[in-house]
Amino acid sequence: MMSSLFIRDYARDFVATAPSTTPVVKSGVAPLRAGQGHSFFWRRLHSLSGIVPVGLFLIEHFVSNAFATRGPGAYAKQVELLSGFPFVFFLELFGIWIPITYHALYGFYIWYRGESNVSEYPWTGNWMYAAQRWTGAVTFAYIVWHTWHLRFTGVHLLTYPGSAFGKVQNELFVAWQFVFYVVGIIAASWHFAYGLWLFAAKWGITQGPIARRRWGYVCVAIALLFIGVGFATLYSFRSVPQQPFQPSANEMDSYTMK
């Protein structure tokens, strides 16, 4: 009797303490990592640069392009207003291009060093991490292509703002370029909106799951707002007959007289 009780108790204790053969994966969002040492500084700078100045530039860009909904004349005036800022080259260099380049390159570095494990550990946080990396890559490719075509090829829009509407149309009337615009708008809107969510979490603005969830709803609304404005802008360019994208004689005479 005593031996049978001993064997039963030993077997029960062995089963209770033996490791499980099936690993248990916790669901939910993976914890945010702030980094250590120099990594902490560069990650914080990367997070901050995505909001200021890159995020602010994105907002300005969407708002400026939305003037296309009021017609070619209003859009040309907006481009002329932006080109009239003093020290435009330095404003673009230090306020746009250098921050965007740093944010993009360090983002690729984080992606290279990251461990999302989407296929093995399907956490919500892992899927969001992967989506943020991919949308960032698409957005960066779109910005490089878009900037090269509009700013550095063909007519110089800062010099001849009256040609801006037609030059954008000239891209959008090409099927694959129009599709690239659509994909770029969606990727940039998502990347910025989720970047706002990450920024608030990493900097301690939203503390706790409830605050983060509520802020997440706001960020989704921001992404949808940006996508809606972007699509309305695309529709405005496409709904107007092709405008001239070469400077008129009056524009050239006006530039010569300056």
Give me the pLDDT at residue 30, please. Answer: 46
Supply the pLDDT for residue 25. 45
Domains in the chain: how many in total?
Answer: 1
CB 166 within 8 A of CB 172: no
Is 184 within a domain?
Answer: yes
Residue 96 lies in a domain: yes
For residue 1, being part of any structural domain is answered with: no
Regions of the chain short of the pLDDT cut 70: 1-37, 115-123, 249-258
Please tell me the distance from the alpha carbon of residue 210 to that of residue 48, in angstroms, as a whole number: 23
**CATH code, domain with 156:** 1.20.1300.10
CB 167 within 8 A of CB 150: yes
> Which pLDDT score, from 0 to 100, does residue 164 have?
95
Q: Which pLDDT score, from 0 to 100, does residue 58 have?
A: 96
pLDDT at 118: 57
Residue 39: per-residue pLDDT = 82
Q: What is the pLDDT, as a whole number, of residue 6?
A: 39
Q: How far apart are CA 140 and CA 125, in angstroms?
A: 22
Per-residue confidence (pLDDT) for residue 246, from 0 to 100: 82
Q: Which domain holds residue 57?
A: 32-257
Do the domain assignments include residue 20? no
Provide the whole-model pTM.
Answer: 0.81
Q: Cis omega (within 30 of 0) on the bond before 72?
A: no
